[in-house]
């Protein structure tokens, strides 16, 4: 357990450094905006492409792992839909609640935990798996926001899903890297070194950027639904995944990869999609902030359970 804490704690310490820099007006919006673009559109895609392209795709791809992760993620979404259908929730909050309950921060936190806890092999497997789960996350997020929206124009925005998938650098880089790996295309050494340098800045900058985006005052006004999203996202999803992996006979080392991605806290893009599609931006911000901090504890919990 101590080794798990020693691995997870520094990740969230870097996140809190990002929050501190933002609080001290060093990591301002003028800085964090371009920084986020560098991380999202350049550094992380390059890192994913490098790891996947250099790997043996067939040796690192598991159909049962993919199916188990997708079923677990979908079950979290439908549980969230059931919750907002049974309990009194503001109509505008329903779609955002559903999205915040299952849409995980794969690119920034999930991959970071996979790398620092499982090493290069874990990051490679997580990168391949990320493409599948991100497609499902985007599809169900758009579907949920459309279903609960009172805006007729928003209801017809299936193009948002296509845009989020086709234009998602994480998905594109994972698919491109897989294609290079499957085709056996050699990457020149000079290009490999270039990719390695760029990818080296991905995770540290991503963690700082996440910290800079956290906003805690908003949690007070939305504590009840935020706690509910945290339970579904950080407790139910990994538990569902663990159950499915066990039933499907997924190897132990691959189970860890799946649990790490399923246990990632609410994605920052939840806020962006809520804003674009008439959702509740304040609830999204609250869920992102609280669940990011809470995931430090739940990651230690789940990794401790699985490793034992």
DSSP the chain: -HHHHHHHHHHHHHHHHHHHHHHTTSS-HHHHHHHHHHIIIIIHHHHHHHHHHTS-HHHH--HHHHHHHHHHHHHHHHHHHHHHHHS---HHHHHHHHHHHH-B-IIIIIHHHHHHHHHHHHHHHHHHHHHHHHHHHHHHHHHHHHHT---HHHHT-HHHHHHHHHT-HHHHHHHHHHHHHHHT----HHHHHHHHHHHHTHHHHHHHHHHHH---GGGGGGHHHHHHHHIIIIIIHHHHHHHHHHHHT--HHHHHHHHHHHTPPBPTHHHHHHHHTT--HHHHHHHHHHHHHHHHHHHHHHHHHHH-
Residue for token pair 């979404």 = 77
Q: What is the mean pLDDT of each run of 10 residues along the chain (308 residues)?
A: 89 94 88 88 92 88 95 96 88 89 92 94 93 88 78 56 74 90 92 94 91 86 92 97 96 95 93 80 92 96 89
Res 164: pLDDT: 65
C-alpha to C-alpha distance for 195 and 43, rounded to whole angstroms: 9
Please provide the CATH number assigned to the domain covering 2-307: 1.20.1530.20
Res 274: pLDDT: 82
Res 287: pLDDT: 94
C-alpha to C-alpha distance for 132 and 136, rounded to whole angstroms: 7
In terms of Cα–Cα distance, which of 133, 155, 154, 167 is closest to 241?
A: 133
Where do the structural domains in the chain lie, given as residue ranges? 2-307
């Amino acid at each position: 357990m101590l080794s798990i804490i020693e691995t997870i704690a520094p990740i969230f310490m870097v996140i809190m450094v990002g929050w501190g820099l933002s609080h001290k007006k060093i990591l301002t919006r003028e800085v964090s905006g371009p920084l986020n673009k560098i991380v999202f559109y350049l550094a992380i895609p390059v890192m994913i492409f490098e790891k996947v392209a250099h790997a043996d795709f067939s040796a690192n791809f598991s159909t049962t792992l993919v199916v188990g992760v997708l079923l677990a993620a979908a079950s979290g979404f439908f549980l969230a839909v059931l919750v907002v259908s049974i309990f009194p929730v503001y109509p505008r909050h329903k779609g955002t609640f559903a999205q915040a309950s299952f849409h995980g921060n794969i690119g920034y936190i999930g991959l970071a935990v996979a790398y620092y806890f499982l090493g290069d092999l874990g990051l490679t497997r997580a990168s391949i798996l990320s493409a599948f789960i991100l497609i499902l996350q985007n599809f169900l997020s758009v579907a949920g926001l459309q279903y609960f929206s009172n805006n007729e124009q928003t209801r017809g925005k299936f193009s948002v899903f296509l845009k989020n998938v086709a234009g998602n650098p994480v998905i594109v880089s994972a698919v491109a890297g897989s294609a290079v790996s499957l085709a056996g295309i050699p990457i020149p050494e000079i290009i490999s070194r270039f990719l390695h340098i760029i990818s080296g800045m991905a995770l540290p900058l991503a963690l700082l950027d996440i910290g800079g985006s956290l906003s805690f005052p908003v949690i007070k006004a939305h504590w009840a639904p935020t706690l509910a999203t945290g339970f579904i996202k950080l407790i139910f999803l990994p538990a569902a995944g663990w159950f499915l992996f066990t039933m499907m006979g997924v190897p132990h080392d691959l189970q860890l990869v799946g649990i790490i991605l399923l246990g990632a806290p609410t994605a920052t893009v939840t806020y962006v999609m809520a804003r674009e599609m008439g959702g509740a931006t304040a609830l999204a911000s609250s869920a992102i902030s609280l669940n990011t901090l809470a995931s430090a504890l739940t990651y230690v919990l789940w990794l401790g359970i699985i490793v034992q």
